[in-house]
Structures are given as C-alpha cells and as structure tokens.
Amino acid sequence: MPLTDPPAQPLLEARGLRFARNDDPVFGPLDFSVDAGEALLVQGDNGAGKTTLLRVLAGLLRADAGEIDIDGGAAGPARRARAIAYLGHLPGLKADLSVLENLEFLCGLQGRRRGQLPEHALGIVGLAGYEDALARQLSAGQKKRLSLARLWLSPAPLWLLDEPYANLDLEGIELVNRMVQAHLRAGGAALVTTHGAYAAPPVRTRLLAMTRPVAERAA
C-alpha cells in the first residue's frame, strides 16, 4: 500500500485537550494530530472517554481546556461544518421517512459531494433496492449502512467515526474498511474509536490510547 508523504499542515490538531463532567475528569490533557491521508485509531476501554473526545472534536461539547485547530486555523463552527463529518451512536434518521428521503434531508442540511448521487451511495453500502423503505423498517445494521451512505455523500475531509463497526456483520466491517481506505486515498482523514477487538482499517494509522484519569479523591 503506497504511503503518501505527510503534508506540512495536519488536518486536525489538538493541544492540551481536557474535559471533566461534574468535576470528574473524563480525559486529558491530550495532544495529538491527524494528517490528510491517515487514520487515527482511538482505543480504550468503556468509559475511557472516547465518545466524549469525538463529541468535543465535532463541536457538540465544549472542552474545559485546550485548543483545537482545523486546517491550521482555530476551530470555529464554520470551519467545523466544512471539515468534519460525524458518525455517532445515534443515527439521526427519521423513522417515518424513507431511506432516500432521509438522505435527501441530510444532504440538504450538510451538503453533498459533487458528482455523488444518493442512489449510487446506497448501492455502495448495500442498500440498493431499499430506497423507499421507511427507516422504521430497517434493522440496526441497515440503519448503520444508511448512516454510512450519508457519510459517503458528505463533502467533509475529516471523518469522526464513533464505533463505526457496531451493529455490522463481517461484510459490513469490510465495507467500513473499504470506505475508509478510499476516503484516505482521496486525501481525507479519519478518526476512529474502537475497543480494539475489531479489525482496524488497512491504512496508515496512528494509535491514541485513552485511559480513564484517576480523579483526585480523598485517601
């Protein structure tokens, strides 16, 4: 697999990132960066703060301390919206709308990659033929594939994937790996959280291991 030369400026850079909930430290301080063309694997046990980290990077939560730079500039809502596509635990799909209607809405909200059609994306994720099925009728794995289709259509270069392999069978896991590979080859980047049990995408990766910080407690 060809390795691209690391570019001069990382796509995402975090310095001294810290987050606490109810004064219990969840993670921090963290320093890391993600370059275009590479994937950062965030590994850790349950409760280590992986999901919280991704939500902080996506802009859904505010860090208690630290800085995040996107494409060299401080991360504000405009930069984030342009650069980041987030795949979280909740699929963000309306149960009463069809597969295609859901995609149409999400693309209308967050943009669509030029030259990519929703029907084409459905074919890639293996949902061809399900265009008019209501999201309510899909299984958990199919809902995940629909989210992946939305991800595929997103114009954002940085993918934040929180447990992307959850709810997927072996074929689905292969699909995620293929998608990440193609995305990275085209110059994008991905940040993937995983327990470590599943196969990692076969691309140039770095590892960020997270452990739950010990809270300052009375002896």
Residues numbered 165 to 194 that lie near other proteins (CB under 8 A) are 186-188
Contact pattern for other proteins over residues 79 through 98, marking x by CB under 8 A: -xxx-xxx-xxxxxxxxxx-
Sequence-separated (6 or more) residues with CB below 8 Å from residue 64:
18, 19, 20, 28
CB of 211 to other proteins, least distance (A): 20
Question: Is the peptide bond between 91 and the residue preceding it cis, with omega within 30 degrees of 0?
Answer: no
- Pairing relation of β-strands 189-194 and 73-74? unpaired
213 binds other proteins (CB under 8 A): no
User: Residue 22 or 46: which CB sits closer to other proteins?
Assistant: 22
User: Residue 29 or 155: which CB sits closer to other proteins?
Assistant: 155
User: Residue 43 or 121: which CB sits closer to other proteins?
Assistant: 121
Structure tokens at 89: 């635990």
User: Residue 20 or 200: which CB sits closer to other proteins?
Assistant: 20
140 binds other proteins (CB under 8 A): no
Spatial contact of 65 and 29, defined as CB atoms under 8 Å apart: yes
Q: How far is CA 56 from CA 61, 149, 164, in A?
A: 5, 24, 18
The single residue among 3, 8, 197, 218 that binds other proteins, judged by CB under 8 A, is 218
Nearest by Cα to 75 from 92, 62, 88 = 62
Question: Binding residues for other proteins, per CB under 8 A?
Answer: 21-23, 36, 58-61, 77-78, 80-82, 84-86, 88-97, 101, 104-115, 155, 157, 186-188, 215-219
